[in-house]
Structure formats: C-alpha cells, structure tokens
C-alpha cells in the first residue's frame, strides 16, 4: 500500500482504486492496515489525514479511517471504520472467488 500526497492523489484516482484516509495514531487505522495490504485486485493507497488536511476537507473526511473507492476518477463509495476484505472489494463491485 503506497502512501500518497495530494499531488500523487490526483493521478492515483484516475484508475479504479481504494484510498484509505488514516493517521499514525489511530487504533482502528492500525487494525485496518493489514487487511488493506492483502488487496491485490485493485491499487490501494493511503493518505495521511494529519498532513493532507485540504484533501480531507475536499472529501468530507471527519473521522478516520475513512475508505473511499474511486471509479473513472470519481468518488464511488465511502466506508468508515475497520472493514473486512470482502467489504472493501464490494466498494468497487469486485468479489472474492469462492475457493
């Protein structure tokens, strides 16, 4: 999972992706990180909400972790708090194969 700043963010969201807004001190953010690391189906990025305040304002981030999926450069779905991998993939209408 790549940590991106506001400049990188503009390019990152041009493809289908998941962006997690989080902070280093947030307990639920720390719990979510390993789950985000397992997602290989789409790019996953992390934005530090402490250092990227303008992005947080633009996307209405009021608590962390907030996870936003993007499709074709536009916000698609938003979730708050710690989530499971299937729930995160549902944000982009992906499903895990039934193995």
Kindly name the residue from 18, 29, 49, 88 that is annotated as catalytic. 29
Highest averaged pLDDT of the listed ranges 38-42, 61-65, 92-96: 61-65
Q: Is 17 a residue of the active site?
A: no
Of the residues 1, 9, 26, 75, which is catalytic? 26
Q: Look at residue 92 in the predicted model and tell me its pLDDT.
A: 86
Structural domains of the chain, ranges and CATH numbers in brackets: 2-86 (3.40.30.10)
pLDDT of residue 15 exceeding 70, the answer is yes
Tens of pLDDT, residues 22-37: 999 999 999 999 999 9
Maximum distance among all Cα pairs of the chain, rounded to whole angstroms: 42
């Amino acid at each position: 999972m790549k940590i991106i700043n506001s400049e990188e963010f503009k390019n990152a969201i041009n493809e289908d992706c998941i962006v997690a807004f989080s902070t280093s001190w947030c307990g639920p953010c720390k719990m979510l990180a390993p789950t985000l690391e397992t997602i290989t189906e789409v790019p996953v990025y992390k934005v530090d909400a402490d250092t990227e305040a303008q992005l947080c304002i633009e996307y209405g981030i009021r608590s962390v972790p907030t996870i936003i999926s993007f499709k074709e450069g536009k916000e698609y779905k938003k979730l708050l708090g710690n989530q499971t991998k299937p729930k995160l993939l549902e944000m982009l209408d992906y499903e895990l194969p039934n193995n």
